[in-house]
Copies of this chain bind each other. A is one copy, B any other.
Amino acid sequence: MSRLETVTEIAVRYAETDRMGVVHHSVYPVYFEVGRTDFFEQHLVHYDRMEQAGLMAPVIELQLQVEGAATYGDVLRLRTFPLWLKGVRLAMGYELHPRGSDVVLATGSTTHALLGPDRRPVHPRRFAELYGKLKEVFGE
């Protein structure tokens, strides 16, 4: 079974490197967010519109493994895929490679709380159309 995922190309920015000569580890969560934006737009709804509709999904947990190094001049390929949806939380997974290579630069996951405009947990079933897509995407 082919896993549902998006693939995002990201060109490393000079500002993202540090004096070790490579992408600073705090940039990977930003790359993951870029991939998540693509995944939501393609398979659910653009996160911007989701937020405007009153549903936010802030990161409450982040795991990151850095297994290689990237630098300015590199173009990366980020795979973003759904992990799970449980009640008022969901999790996404990430794998980062150099473009045109299977080498793994980094892997990670993010867990998100689903919150309403009052910043309190809200069950996605309140957003019927989105909820249908969420169940499909997360295979519930």
Q: Which residues of A contact B (CB under 8 A)?
A: 11, 13-15, 17-22, 24-27, 29-30, 33-34, 37, 46-49, 56, 58-67, 69, 71-73, 119
Contacts and interface: CB of A to CB of B under 8 A. Distances in A.
How many copies of the chain does the oligomer comprise? 4
A26 B15 contact: yes
Going nearest first, the 7 A-B pairs with the smallest beta carbon separation are A48-B73, A17-B19, A26-B29, A62-B64, A25-B59, A19-B21, A15-B30
A55 to B, nearest CB: 12
Given A60-B66, A66-B60, A73-B46, A24 B15 contact: yes
A94 to B, nearest CB: 13
Q: Which of A18, A37, A61 has the most CB of B within 10 A?
A: A18
Contacts of A25: 29, 58-59, 62
Contact of A58 (B15, B20, B64, B72): B20
A63 B62 contact: yes
Contacts of A29: 15, 25-26, 29
Contacts of A13: 30, 33-34, 37
Contacts of A63: 61-64
Contacts of A27: 26
Q: Which of A13, A19, A49, A71 has the most CB of B within 10 A?
A: A19
A61 B56 contact: no
